[in-house]
Amino acid sequence: MPKAKRPVKRSKVKRVARAKTPAQLARAGNLKALYAIADLKRSANDRDAYKWLCAAADFGHEDADDYISDVLEVTTMRYDDSGYERAAAHWELAAAYLEGADGLPVDLALARQHLDEAFVHHATLDAINVGVNGSYSADELRARLSDDARRVLDAGLAGDDLERAVRCIDMIRRLIEVGAPEVMVGDQQRALRALVASACPLPTAAAIERMGSDPLDDEIGFLEAVHAEVGATLELLRAEQARRRT
């Protein structure tokens, strides 16, 4: 009778967990891990932390706004007064959403939103490249896109300051409603002022001559009328006060 074979003992192999990608962390809402990308020394790393925390906010993790505020206040991003680093981060997110890259899905609505954010302070991609010493190429990106995504990209590059201003107002309203940090609201308010100034520039002397009047004259006239009305009301109140004291 043949001897029964003993079962072969298999050594247990420990499975090493793979490190999650930033996109996976953003989907899961692992905000602490995304914040840890920032090293407070290199603007590229700090920009990546800002970028992926914005992606986490896209996935509906509301607490991401607080972490974004911290990145803007305590990392090298606090020196980004001209908005180049933020613009680059939003361009990268827009590009990823347009073609479904870097672990993010194709989402043309989010791509449109980040394109607006990218060009709030800077009108062209070349300007952003100069600001961050980058090499972003709209042509290379466009060649990889579907027709719908290409139309979104072209519209974002062309820009519409009035449309962006309306979206900026909506963003400010939402930030205020959710009690977002002041630094985020203030950033959107500055962007809105820049958009309004771009869409409605001050008239030149030639334009004033064509219009036949200076809009500033109308504004001054309006304020003078208001001032006169307030002054008259004040005099009436003072007269009533004096009557009561006699």
Pick from 111, 140, 53, 131: nearest CA to 123: 131
Rounded Cα gap, residues 244 and 178, in angstroms: 48
Interatomic CA distance for residues 122 and 99, integer angstroms:
23
Q: How many CB atoms lie within 10 A of CB 45?
A: 16
pLDDT score recorded for residue 193: 78
Picking from 117, 124, 127, the residue whose alpha carbon sits closest to that of residue 188 is 117
- The DSSP letter of residue 160 is -
CA 154, 159, 163, 169 torsion-angle sign: positive
- Please count the other Cβ atoms lying within 10 Å of the Cβ belonging to residue 56: 26
Question: Rounded distance, CA 83 to CA 81, Å?
Answer: 5
Domain boundaries, the chain: 20-79
Q: Do 118 and 136 meet the contact criterion of CB atoms below 8 Å apart? A: no
Mean pLDDT by 10 residues, the chain (246 residues): 58 58 95 92 88 96 93 91 91 97 96 91 86 94 96 85 72 78 77 71 72 72 77 84 84
Cα separation, 114 vs 95, in Å, equals 9
- The whole-model pTM stands at 0.64
Look at residue 87 in the predicted model and tell me its pLDDT: 94
pLDDT digits (tens, 9 = 90+) for 76-91: 999 888 889 999 999 9
Rg, Å, the chain Cα set = 28
pLDDT digits (tens, 9 = 90+) for 10-66: 555 555 456 689 999 999 999 999 999 998 777 789 999 999 999 999 999 989 999
Distance from C-alpha of 87 to C-alpha of 101, rounded to nearest angstrom = 18
Provide the pLDDT for residue 16.
47
Classify residue 21 as left (phi > 0), alpha (psi -120 to 50) or beta.
beta
